[in-house]
């Protein structure tokens, strides 16, 4: 794993945007795995700026999102589809046939999970997956205890996650209790992973990632099993890291 510690959130976002635009200028078509949450917002703003400045060609890019709340309609303002539409799809003028996200209102969730797995597979797999991390170490919506071999699945959200995500909803009771998420096994099949984390709420998860044991109790530690992971974090998220150990 490569670790970069940025001075500011802006720098973190710029570093991530540079990696992504470098990758996008190479392989075509390119399958980019997307994350939601506050962490990648700066990165998405950077990508929009680069695109407007003519520095980022998205003609052959397809986007695959990690997850969606269940049950929740796409047009609900807090759905991850709405997040993507507002921050990514519309500003980047991406046509609907090149953006993919699990359907949060699927009647047959088992079939929806299989469909999403097939979709990724049929398009040749994810080339680069952007990841954030939950304060409890979750990736996507794979909560502590999830098998590292898991595939796209319906999951029950941890109480901690419901509390953390309540800030986007009017009331904690409005946060859906379930989600459809790519599994950890699905995520680990991506060719490259870029994990972003900022703020002190992520410091413990970062300590577990770099110094803890690899365990299904802390989903983010599964990234240590992947050969090409870049971690970009700010000083606050790095606060509990023993950086002298890192350099060895
Ligand atoms: C959600 C998403 C994750 C994301 C996490 C962190 O639960 N499912 O993909 O990484 O929240 O969110 P934030 O970046 O807002 O801290």
- Give the active site residue among 31, 65, 103, 136: 136
Q: Is the CA virtual torsion 73, 77, 80, 86 positive or negative?
A: positive
The CA-CA-CA angle for residues 219, 150, 12, to 5°, reads: 40
54: alpha, beta or left? (left if phi > 0; alpha if psi -120 to 50) = left
Assess whether 165 carries a catalytic annotation. no
Q: Facing residues of 129 across strands? A: 33, 193
User: Rounded CA gap, 35 and 41, in Å?
Assistant: 9
The residue whose CB lies within 8 Å of the most ligand 1 atoms, and thus the one to mutate among 134, 139, 179, is 134
Lining residues, ligand 1, CB within 6 Å: 35-39, 66-67, 132-134, 140-141, 161, 165
- pTM of the predicted structure, to 2 decimals: 0.97
User: Rounded CA gap, 213 and 242, in Å?
Assistant: 15
71 token code pair: 């049950």
One pLDDT digit (tens) per residue for the chain, 248 residues: 999 999 999 999 999 999 999 999 988 999 999 999 999 999 999 999 999 999 999 999 999 999 999 999 999 999 999 999 999 999 999 999 999 999 999 999 999 999 999 999 999 999 999 999 999 999 999 999 999 999 999 999 999 999 999 999 999 999 999 999 999 999 999 999 999 999 999 999 999 999 999 999 999 999 999 999 999 999 999 999 998 766 54
Cα 248 to averaged position of ligand 1 atoms, centre (Å): 30
Q: Judge whether 197 and 185 are in contact, CB under 8 Å.
A: no
């Amino acid at each position: 794993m490569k670790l970069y510690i940025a001075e500011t959130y802006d720098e973190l976002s710029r570093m991530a945007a540079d990696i992504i635009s470098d990758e996008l200028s190479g392989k075509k078509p390119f399958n980019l795995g997307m994350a939601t949450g506050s962490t990648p917002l700066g990165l998405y703003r950077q990508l929009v700026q680069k695109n407007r400045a003519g520095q980022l060609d998205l003609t052959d890019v397809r986007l695959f999102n990690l997850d969606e709340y269940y049950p929740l309609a796409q047009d609900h303002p807090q759905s991850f589809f709405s997040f993507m539409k507002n921050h990514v799809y519309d500003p980047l003028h991406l046509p609907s046939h090149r953006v993919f996200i699990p359907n949060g209102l699927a009647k047959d969730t088992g079939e929806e999970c299989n469909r999403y797995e097939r979709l990724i597979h049929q398009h040749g797999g994810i080339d680069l997956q952007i990841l954030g991390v939950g304060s409890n170490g979750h990736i996507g919506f794979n909560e502590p205890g999830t098998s590292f071999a898991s595939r796209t699945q319906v999951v029950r959200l941890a109480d901690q996650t419901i509390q953390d995500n309540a800030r986007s909803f009017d009331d904690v009771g409005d946060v859906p209790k379930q989600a459809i998420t790519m599994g950890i096994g699905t995520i680990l099949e991506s060719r490259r992973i870029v994990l972003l984390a900022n703020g002190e709420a992520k410091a413990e998860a970062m300590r577990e990632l770099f110094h803890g044991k690899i365990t299904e109790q802390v989903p983010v530690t599964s990234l240590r099993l992947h050969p090409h992971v870049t971690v970009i974090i700010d000083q606050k998220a790095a606060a509990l890291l023993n950086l002298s150990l890192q350099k060895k």
